[in-house]
Amino acid sequence: MPAGDVETFHQDGSWHNRIEGASDLLGTYATREEAVAAGRDEARRRKVEHLVHNLDGTIGERNTYGHDPRDIPG
């Protein structure tokens, strides 16, 4: 994933957003819904990908809000 993508993840009982590769958090939220909405807004603003992790750490959702780097016809 390119540097600068936004990640939404659960850790220590809270949901968080951060820029991929950075240790600083963009925000901490009580609910998944709040974190996803804030992460989506940040990804749209930055025109990058937004990755939403499941509780087990796997990627549950992935959305692109800018240049889509995939080479898929159609």
Encode 9-53 in three state secondary structure: EEECCEEEEEECCCCCEEEEECCHHHHHHHHHHHHHHHCCEEEEE
pLDDT tens column, 41-61: 999 999 999 999 999 999 999
Kind of pairing between the strands at 25-29 and 49-53: unpaired
Largest distance between two CA atoms of the chain = 42
In this prediction the pTM is 0.83
CA angle 20, 41, 27 (to 5 degrees): 55
Question: pLDDT band at 66, cuts 50/70/90?
Answer: confident
* Between 23 and 3, residue with greater pLDDT: 23
